Amino acid sequence: MNKSMIVISATVLATSMGSQATEYSRTFNIEDMTKDGEKYSVAFTPEFNVAASVIVLDVNVEGNATLSSRQESVCTLWEEDICVGPVKQLWHSEFSHEFKYTVSCDDKVILNKFADQLEFTNEKLTSTKSKIHIQDAFINLNELTCETVSFAIETLQGKDIEQIVGSIKFSDSTSK
């Protein structure tokens, strides 16, 4: 084996190791998460530093929304901010489950977003069951190096979360 072959082999090995070190993917569910009030969080400590700029999040959340479904007295015609029409009793259903979710790299929050399921209708709603699918991809302009990555989700408006199943991937490429 001559000197140039040794150099080429070492370069391939470094690239391959580098490629492994720039992608980190984990799946999780509600049993893996810590509950603090209405907030669920999960932290991962990889055996290597995660250096990544692309974060892909895919989470299914099920729970119970707040629901108000009743007859309400409402104005039926407006002129600017003055009610000029008859006030009528109409059916109003309002269903609301709103979340805030974050992804953190060590102590730094790098993704801070919201998700919701809202209904505002004249139909009579009875179920409070909510189902939300979060799909998010975020690209940092500055490369991140994390020892710990974490995901947290909390209910802002609604009753509770019953199930969380998701995955998080840190990568240095937008290609699959």
> Given the rule CB under 8 A, which residues bind other proteins?
74-78, 80-81, 85, 88, 90, 92-94, 98, 112-114, 116, 118-123, 141
Nearer to other proteins (CB atom), residue 5 or residue 141:
141
Nearer to other proteins (CB atom), residue 132 or residue 146:
132
* Rounded Cα distance, 36 and 39, in Å: 5
Nearer to other proteins (CB atom), residue 33 or residue 57:
57
The amino acid occupying position 32 is: D
Is the CB of residue 65 less than 8 Å from the CB of residue 159? yes
Per DSSP (E only), the strands in the chain are 24-29, 34-36, 39-44, 50-64, 66-75, 78-79, 82-83, 87-105, 108-121, 129-146, 149-157, 160-171
Q: Nearest distance from residue 9's CB to other proteins, in Å?
A: 39
Q: Nearest distance from residue 157's CB to other proteins, in Å?
A: 9
Nearer to other proteins (CB atom), residue 35 or residue 88:
88
Q: Nearest distance from residue 166's CB to other proteins, in Å?
A: 20
Q: Nearest distance from residue 35's CB to other proteins, in Å?
A: 24
Sole residue written with tokens 């399921």: 117
Token digits of residue 69: 């479904």
Q: Nearest distance from residue 154's CB to other proteins, in Å?
A: 15
The amino acid occupying position 90 is: L
Nearer to other proteins (CB atom), residue 120 or residue 127:
120
* Rounded Cα distance, 99 and 84, in Å: 38
